[in-house]
Chain A
Amino acid sequence: MTSLSLDGLRREYGATVAVDRVDLEMQQGELVALLGPSGCGKTTTLRMVAGFVAPTSGRVVIGGRDVTAAPPYARDTGMVFQGYALFPHMSVAENVGFGLEMRRVPRAERGARIAEALRLVRLEGLAERRPAQLSGGQQQRVALARALVVNPAVFLLDEPLSNLDARLRAEVRVEIRALQQRLGLTTLFVTHDQEEALTMADRLVVMQGGRVRQTGTPEEVYERPADLFVAGFIGSCNILRGVVEAPGAFRAGAMALPCAGGAPGERAALVVRPERIAIGPEGRLPGRIDLVTYLGGTTEWHVTTDAGALRVSQKTPDAADPRRLLRRGDGVMLDWRPEAGRLLSDSNEGEQA
């Protein structure tokens, strides 16, 4: 069943187009992350769903009802704001109960539902506190409870983790995802953090310059990026520019490199993830080590080759492995499977990620 559908959503501010032709169909219980750098239109898109921004054209349909023209209070969405936006003059219980009160839920039932929502976010003992008396993480959970308690058709999260410190962020990420799956909440989530998006979302919508660059599962987007922007924004990648010589052969500088498919004569960019490159005494591409970075579980080698500079990332080899002894200035050979080299049309957009 479709819970939310965005149909050709577009928003202009004067001559600027903030959001253009955004289409999205969300199934019941799905978590979709709108991902992109700041200014890519992801927040504007979310605010159009909530009703705070009116689309210039296009439609927002929630639960089969066209709400494009409906004011925010008449849409069945529950939003968690970036700064939480709790009501400072109300207690935690009053904050959480506000939506129920607006829906004219009888007082007795309200009390039970507030208690249940606070239990879900593990804030049972704090119902009478004021927001100012809570830590950032607790405020965040009040904001979650306040949006959850009204059982919204669509749950909207606007960078909900950005105000938390790194450790808490990882914890809350798991918590939100568990809650979302348990309650089967259809959730649209805005973030600029690719790790957050990859770990939490069923599907990603990667946006840039107001446009959707790619929509897909985390695996699809990471393994088969649609363009150089997506490849550079999700994870890190090596980009080599050159020409396709023959299907499966890519020429960059003086080197012929393995790649997947391609039409001969085409100018293209070859994208290879650092962890897909093998490093050792054997291989097709000779190079010289510029820098070795030991990161504990993984090690990175920066290698200069005739095709360009490449970054290689592998599980840190065993102590007995000769690769452990590689130092700056050593010669090595690099190689990768043809399917790990993805050809994308050449443009400069990957550079900015």
Chain B
Amino acid sequence: MGVWRAILWRGGVGAVFAVVLLPLVAVVWLSFFNQEIIAFPPEGYTWRWYANAWSQRQFASGFLNSLEIALIAASIGVTVGTAAAYALVRARFPGKTAIAGLLLGPLAIPGVVLGTGLYVFFVQIDNAIDFQIVATLPGLIAAHVLLTIPWTVRLVAASLQGLHPAAEEAAANLGARPWTVFRRVTLPMMRAGVVAGALFSFIQSFENLELTLLLTGPGRSTLPVEMLNYLEFRVDPTLAAVATVQIVLIGALMLITDRFVNISRVVA
């Protein structure tokens, strides 16, 4: 009985892992197929799709654009989101639940809907005060900040909730003013939440397609947009090669971060 339960349990866990990991493994595998039209079994293996991806300069420039936008959006989102999470957990004010819901809202709205809404909103502003936002870099970053805030708020609030305010009181009792208390005690104690928030914000922004598609301007495409463009004309494994590079980079980023702060503790 116990043995069967153990086998069932392990099998179940294994199946879940397989479902999560199989697409990733498939993408990596495909990227090495030596043929333009993907078919099984592969005719052979090659590195040439990686060479092709490298020679298509739009991927490199898209990567740099994505990196720039994601870094700026994540920095703004983490700063604002951390402050918001701190206020939501520690302060008491009317309308707190409503504000918490509003901050997490972007998570619940489909990207296409959010993107369309923002597009219309930006155009309205343009019409009203003759100030162009659509197709500008600040406009795009502002939209991405919306994606990064919910993640930071969620993760930082979760890590703050586990912290007893007594340590902050102790610091105040020892003569620290409020800002010093925050900088020297609160912030270090919720570091794991902030780092995890930053990481997830970065990923959210980096891989976003829908918002970017609707709001970006000519000549400033991000990596996901460039990938979609390529897909319109060809379906060879080049995209799988690009995706593999992306998987490796983000995986490495997570592993490195996890070495410095225990993210799994915050996220779990």
B185 within 8 A of partner (CB):
yes
Contact, CB under 8 Å: B172 / A83: no
The yes or no answer to A225 lying at the interface (CB within 8 A) is no
A150 in the interface (beta carbon within 8 A): yes
Contact of A73 among B164, B167, B175 (CB under 8 A): B175
- Contact A87/B185 with A72-B169, A79-B170, A81-B169 known, Cβ cut-off 8 Å: yes
CB of A52 closer than 8 Å to a CB of B: yes
A150 touches B188 (CB 8 A): no
Asked whether any CB of chain A lies closer than 8 Å to the CB of B46, the reply is no
- Given A89-B189, A102-B180, A77 and B167 contact (CB-CB distance below 8 Å): no
* With known contacts A71-B172, A99-B175, A150-B174, A88–B166 Cβ distance under 8 A: no
The residue in chain B whose Cβ has the minimal distance to the Cβ of A86 is B167
The distance in angstroms between the C-alpha atoms of A79 and B173, with both chains bound, is 7
Q: Could you tell me the dominant secondary structure of chain A's interface residues?
A: loop
What residues on A are CB-neighbors of B188 within 8 Å?
87, 89
A83 with B173: in contact, given A88-B189, A89-B189 (CB under 8 Å)? no
B171 at the interface (CB under 8 A from A): yes
Residue A178 at the B interface, CB < 8 A?
no
B176 on the A face (CB < 8 A): yes
Give the one of B173, B175, B176 with max A CB within 10 A.
B173
CA separation between A82 and B231, bound complex, in Å? 63
Q: Residue A146 at the B interface, CB < 8 A?
A: yes
CA gap between A83 and B184 in the complex, in Å: 20
How many angstroms between the C-alpha atoms of A159 and B180 in the bound complex?
27
- Write the A36-51 contact mask toward B (1 if CB under 8 angstroms, else 0): 0000000000000011
A79 — which chain B residues lie within 8 A by C-beta?
Answer: 169-170, 173
Q: Is B174 in contact with A98, judged by CB distance below 8 angstroms?
A: yes
Closest chain-A Cβ to B183's Cβ sits at a distance in Å of 12
Query: Do residues B167 and A88 form an inter-chain contact, with CB atoms below 8 A?
Result: yes
Report yes or no: A77 in contact with B172, Cβ–Cβ below 8 A.
Answer: no
Does B5 sit at the interface, judged by CB under 8 A? no
> Of A51, A83, A98, A147, which contacts B166 at CB under 8 A?
A83
The verdict on A17 contacting chain B, using a C-beta distance below 8 Å, is: no
Using known A-B contacts A89-B188, A89-B189, determine if residue A73 contacts B170 with beta carbons closer than 8 Å.
Answer: no
In contact, A72 and B173 (Cβ under 8 angstroms)? yes
B172 contacts which chain A residues (CB < 8 A)?
51-52, 71-73
Partner of B170 from the list A71, A87, A103 (CB cut-off 8 Å) is A87
| B169 in contact with A73 (CB, 8 Å) | no
CA distance A52 to B174 in the complex (A): 13
Q: How far is the CB of A54 from chain B (nearest CB, A)?
A: 14
Interface residue ranges of A46-102 to B (CB < 8 Å):
50-52, 71-73, 77-79, 81-83, 85-89, 98-99, 102
Chain B's interface: helix, strand, loop or mixed, by majority?
Answer: helix
CB neighbours of A87 from chain B (8 A):
167, 170-171, 185, 188-189
> What separation, in Å, do the CA atoms of A288 and B98 have in the docked complex?
69
A312 to B189, alpha carbons, bound, how many Å?
55
A52: B residues at CB distance < 8 A: 169, 172
* Cα–Cα distance between A89 and B187 once the two chains are bound (Å): 10
For chain B, residues 182 to 215, give those with C-beta under 8 angstroms from any C-beta of chain A.
184-185, 188-189, 191
The complex places the Cα of A81 from the Cα of B188 at a distance, in Å, of 20
A81 touching B176 by the CB < 8 A rule?
no
Are B174 and A102 in touch, CB under 8 angstroms?
Answer: yes
Given contacts A85-B164, A87-B185, A89-B188, contact A150 B175 (CB under 8 A): yes
B259 at the interface (CB under 8 A from A): no
The A-contacting residues of B in range 144-186, CB under 8 angstroms, are 164, 166-167, 169-177, 180, 184-185
Task: Give the docked Cα–Cα distance between A51 and B173 (Å).
Answer: 8
How far apart are the CA atoms of A72 and B173 in the complex, in Å? 5
List the A side residues contacting B173 at CB < 8 Å.
Answer: 50, 72-73, 77-79, 147
Residues of chain B within 8 A (CB-CB) of A72 are 169, 172-173
Tell me, in angstroms, the Cα distance from A81 to B165 when the chains sit together: 11
Chain A residues closer than 8 Å to B166, beta-carbon distance? 81-83, 85
Contact A85 B189, beta carbon cutoff 8 Å: no
> Which residues of chain B are within 8 angstroms of A71 by Cβ–Cβ distance?
172
**Complex: how many Å from CA A149 to CA B175?**
13
CA distance A73 to B173 in the complex (A): 5
Identify which of residues 207-226 in chain B touch chain A, using a CB-to-CB cut-off of 8 Å. Answer: none
> Which of A77, A87, A146 lies at the interface centre, i.e. has the most chain B CB atoms within 10 A of its CB?
A87
Q: Which residue of A lies closest to B166 (CB)?
A: A85
Chain B positions within 8 Å of A89 at CB level: 188-189, 191
Whether B167 contacts A102 by the Cβ 8 Å rule is no
Q: How far is the CA of A98 from the CA of B168 in the complex (A)?
A: 12
In contact, B177 and A73 (Cβ under 8 angstroms): yes
By a CB distance below 8 angstroms, the chain A residues around B177 are: 73
Q: Which of A114-132 contact B (CB under 8 A)?
A: none
List residues of A (134-154) whose CB comes within 8 Å of B's CBs. 146-147, 150
> A102 to B173, alpha carbons, bound, how many Å?
10
* Cβ distance B81 to chain A, nearest Cβ, rounded Å: 21
Show 23 residue pairs from A and B whose CB-CB distance is below 8 angstroms, ordered by the A residue.
A50-B169, A50-B173, A51-B172, A52-B172, A71-B172, A73-B173, A79-B169, A79-B170, A83-B166, A85-B166, A85-B167, A85-B169, A87-B170, A87-B171, A87-B185, A87-B188, A87-B189, A88-B167, A88-B189, A103-B175, A146-B174, A147-B173, A150-B174
Known: A51-B172, A86-B170, A98-B174. 9 other contacts (CB 8 A): A71-B172, A73-B177, A85-B167, A87-B170, A87-B185, A89-B191, A102-B174, A102-B175, A146-B174
Per CB-CB distance, the 10 closest pairs between chain A and chain B, nearest first, are A102-B175, A99-B174, A85-B166, A85-B170, A72-B172, A89-B188, A79-B173, A85-B167, A81-B166, A73-B175
Q: Chain B interface (Cβ within 8 Å of chain A)? A: 164, 166-167, 169-177, 180, 184-185, 188-189, 191
